[in-house]
Amino acid sequence: MRIVAGRNRGLQLAVLGPGDPLAHLRPTPDRVRESLFNLLAARDDVSVEGARVLDLFAGTGALGLEALSRGAAEAVFVDDGATARALLRENIGRARAQGQTRVFRRDATDLGEARGAPFDLVFLDPPYGQGLGATALASAVAGGWLAPGATIVWEDNAQQPPPAGFALLDTRRYGDTHLTILRAPGADAG
């Protein structure tokens, strides 16, 4: 697993190893991340450059760290697993991104109130097939974590229907990985 493009292009991320079977760690493959970021770059209504990124169910942090490598201003990683947080910290160190990142030990389905500016770009990569993505999005909306018109990239094992108020921008399938790209409700939504 490596960073695909940007200032940290080619940086090897921590090896997952056997990991914790209960951690549900399933990093997004390099080729899927590359395709995803190419999709985002091709859109006129999405900018990774300067974005505040929220990585829910962050796991190894590969999605948020890829965004930082490509010019995002900040990334906040949320994961309640000890194995994931240890890998996150190692990967943040490898990327020398300590000043641009924060790691929260928190359940992504119960975020509570945001204590800072909302996020422009959200990666949502819950354990597949458990219905946790919709619950996490509802929690993010309720807590004020999403900027009006934020872009959400939802990775799951099937295309996900947009929750009420969200607009579907695109869907793609890569093997058993489905990406659903949404626009959050708000004044800037298109």
> Domains of the chain by range and CATH?
32-183 (3.40.50.150)
Phi, psi for residue 15 in degrees, rounded to 5: -75, 130
CB 166 within 8 A of CB 150: no
Strand order, beta sheet including 52-56: 101-104, 74-78, 52-56, 119-124, 146-156, 177-183, 167-174
Confidence of residue 26 (pLDDT cuts 50, 70, 90): low
| CA dihedral (65, 114, 39, 6) positive or negative | negative
pLDDT digit string, tens, across residues 31-56: 788 888 999 988 888 889 999 999 99
pLDDT digit string, tens, across residues 70-123: 999 999 999 998 888 888 999 999 999 999 999 999 999 999 999 899 999 999
CB 21 within 8 A of CB 30: no
